[in-house]
Each structure stands twice: as structure tokens, then as C-alpha cells.
Amino acid sequence: MWTKLTNVVSTKTIEQTLNAARSLIDLSEDRHFVREGKNFFDTRAKLLKTIHKDVDTTLNLRKRMKDPAVNHSFLLFKSGPGPATKPHQDRPYWLKVEDKCTMFTAWIALGPIDETQGALRLNLSNEVNLEEFFSGIASEREILPHSKDQYAGGGFTTILEEQVAAKLEENMVPIKVDAGDVVLFDAFEPHSSTQNSSPSPRLAMKIVYGEKWSMKTYLIDFNKLESETFGAKLFNALSPGH
Ligand SMILES: O=C(O)CCC(=O)C(=O)O
């Protein structure tokens, strides 16, 4: 299940994020996303707060969840050129974090992205609207067979088994996005991304939200995220693989 929301994060917030990430933008790494993207927000709580505020103006998560928190947030800059990410579900990566799944991803485009630049690939028949997304999120669905990836560059070590992936990929299409668009997908949604065959980096990031009571670890809860005073540094003792 996934949904695409347009014009969610403002141009100003995107500029602020890209300015803070200048030193990472032109890195050329043979990885799904540049290594430092994973820890980027651990020392930039205020920036995360600003981005979250834009996202939550559309999502209104306090109304939809009991006690929301951010589990993790990564910059997902894919070098130009950079490799495709193979199909996988996120749930196998998150089994250690929670028993009952409440986590989902808000994938944020920080620039326009098409299929030549590392677009997300998703199944069009699993597209829902925002209301349907949140009414369906509580139901546990099937974890499909996964196996270890030989390449494993950039943290995606667990991918859907080849035959399962091939079948699913018949119905997966690249989702074109503009800067500021957000794609929400749940932990069971098979997804992948295309190769970035352009010479420019693919600028994206994600915030993974979940219920505080369900997650064994999390980055920051909403009380802290919404408060006026907190330090720049976040401590994430147990960040999941991706
Ligand atoms: O950003 C991408 O290209 C893929 C992201 C992804 O697969 C994930 O965050 O689980």
C-alpha cells in the first residue's frame, strides 16, 4: 500500500536541507545511497524538526496515531551514476525494532526524480489515497521470501528472492516525483528504485514513523520534536539497517 502526495515540503525547507548537506551532494559512491546519509540527522535535530513540520502539516499524525515517534531518518542521496536498489519489503529489516508493525516510510523528494535518476518503483495496483493508507496500516500482512544480496552496497542486504521479485516487477513502475513530493509506503509494500544513470545525484530522504509504545528504539518522539527547546544532537542507539 502506498500513496503519493504532491507539494508537501516547501522550497525553503528543501533549500535549507540541501545547504546543510552540501558536502554530501557530489560524493561518488558505489552504494544505494551515500554512507553519511544514514547519520546525517543524528546531529541535525532542528532541521529534522523543520522537515517533519512540513510533512506533518499534510499527514496530521497525532490525529491518526496514538503516540507517534520518528524511528529513523536518512538522507538517501544516490550518486550520479548510482546503482539500482533491488525489490524488497522493509518489514524484514524492522523485525528487531517491533513485534507488531506500526512503522511506515515517508520518502521525500528533494529534487525532481524520473526513471533515469533513481525513481522509486511501486505496484500501481497497490496505490491508495491518504485515508485508505492510514486505515490499512494496522493490518499485519505477509512477509514475502527474502534472501541475502551479494552486492549489498549501501545497506540493502536483504532482497526479495529472485523469482518472487521477477514476478512482482512485472507490475512495478517508476514513480516520477517533483521536489517536495512525498511517497508514503508501508513496511510490507515491495519497492525498489531504478539506477541513477544521470551524472547528477538523486536527492531524496526518508522519515520512518511508528508508534512509540510499539518500537523498542526510536530517534525522537513527537513531544520532543514539537518542543521549542531541545539540543541539536539525537542519540539513536539502535538504528535499523535501513
Ligand atoms: O531511496 C531508494 O532508492 C530506495 C529506498 C528504499 O528502498 C527504502 O528506504 O527502503
Q: Give the integer Cα–Cα distance in Å for 194 and 154.
A: 15
Within-domain flag for 237: no
Parallel, antiparallel or unpaired: strands 85-88 and 191-193? antiparallel
How many whole angstroms from 64 Cα to the centroid of ligand 1?
24
Q: Residues with Cβ within 6 A of ligand 1?
A: 76, 85, 90, 105, 118, 191, 193, 204, 206, 242
What predicted TM-score, i.e. pTM, was given to this entire model? 0.94
Within-domain flag for 236: no
What distance lies between CA 16 and its chain's CA centroid? 19
> What integer pLDDT is reported at residue 130 of this predicted model?
98
- 190 cis-preceded (ω within 30 degrees of 0): no
Within-domain flag for 231: no
Within-domain flag for 75: yes
Bridge partners, residue 221, by sequence: 69
Among 71, 107, 168, which residue has the most ligand 1 atoms within 8 Å of its CB, making it the best to mutate?
Answer: 107
Within-domain flag for 228: no
* Tens of pLDDT, residues 93-103: 999 999 999 99
Within-domain flag for 239: no
At residue 242, does pLDDT exceed 90?
Answer: no
Q: Which domain holds residue 58?
A: 2-216
Within-domain flag for 227: no
Q: What is the count of structural domains for the chain?
A: 1
Q: Give the integer Cα–Cα distance in Å for 192 and 169.
A: 9
* Tens of pLDDT, residues 148-164: 887 666 667 888 999 99
CATH number of the structural domain spanning residue 154: 2.60.120.620
* Tens of pLDDT, residues 21-30: 998 888 787 7
Within-domain flag for 241: no
